[in-house]
Amino acid sequence: MHTAGLRADVRVSNWDEDISEWRQVDPPLSDRARELVEARVREAMQRQACELSFRVGRRDCVLVEGLVLDLARRRGLDCAVEAERGLLRVRLTFSVSGPALKLDQFVDHARKVVNSYLWPTGGAGG
């Protein structure tokens, strides 16, 4: 390759589920780069809590509750639900806690999943 004027660098990385990104393993990271990665991992693994609410029709209540609770369980998050029933609608409030990165991903995914299931009936209100 040198005769053609080309140069290549090879780096080996592994996918890190904790921070949802590739981590370089070869050549080893510099001390400073390793410290930055370790800081991102610590931040991603800090426990946080949030509440997520969906206003759904009474007929959709069981479906939405099951979808969100299952999604949280599969991601290893703690999740509890509270239902506030109205005449035609139910407000489901999910209290979720777990590692910060998983929590952020869960909230985005839960909104997309719930809205896709409820699209024919008018969607979920916040």
State which H helix or E strand residue 40 sits in. Answer: helix 31-45
Phi then psi dihedrals of residue 84, to 5 deg: -115, 105
Q: Is the pLDDT of residue 2 over 70?
A: no
Which SS3 state, helix, strand or coil, does residue 126 take? coil
47-121 has CATH 3.30.300.100 classification: yes
Predicted confidence band of residue 122 (pLDDT cuts 50, 70, 90): very low
Q: Is the pLDDT of residue 119 over 70?
A: no
CB 99 within 8 A of CB 41: no
CB 105 within 8 A of CB 79: no
pTM: 0.67
Half-sphere exposure of 102 toward its Cβ, with a 13 Å CA cutoff? 23
As a whole-number percent, the residues of the chain with pLDDT over 90 amount to 34
Output the pLDDT for position 1. Answer: 56
Higher-pLDDT residue of 77, 123: 77
Which of these, 24, 108, 43, lies nearest to 71 by C-alpha position?
108
E-state strands within 45-88: 47-57, 78-85
Residues 48-62: tens digit of each pLDDT = 999 999 998 888 889
CB 99 within 8 A of CB 16: no
Residues 6-59: tens digit of each pLDDT = 888 888 888 877 677 788 888 888 889 888 888 888 887 788 999 999 998 888
Q: Is the pLDDT of residue 124 over 70?
A: no
Query: Domain residues of the chain, as ranges?
Result: 2-45, 47-121
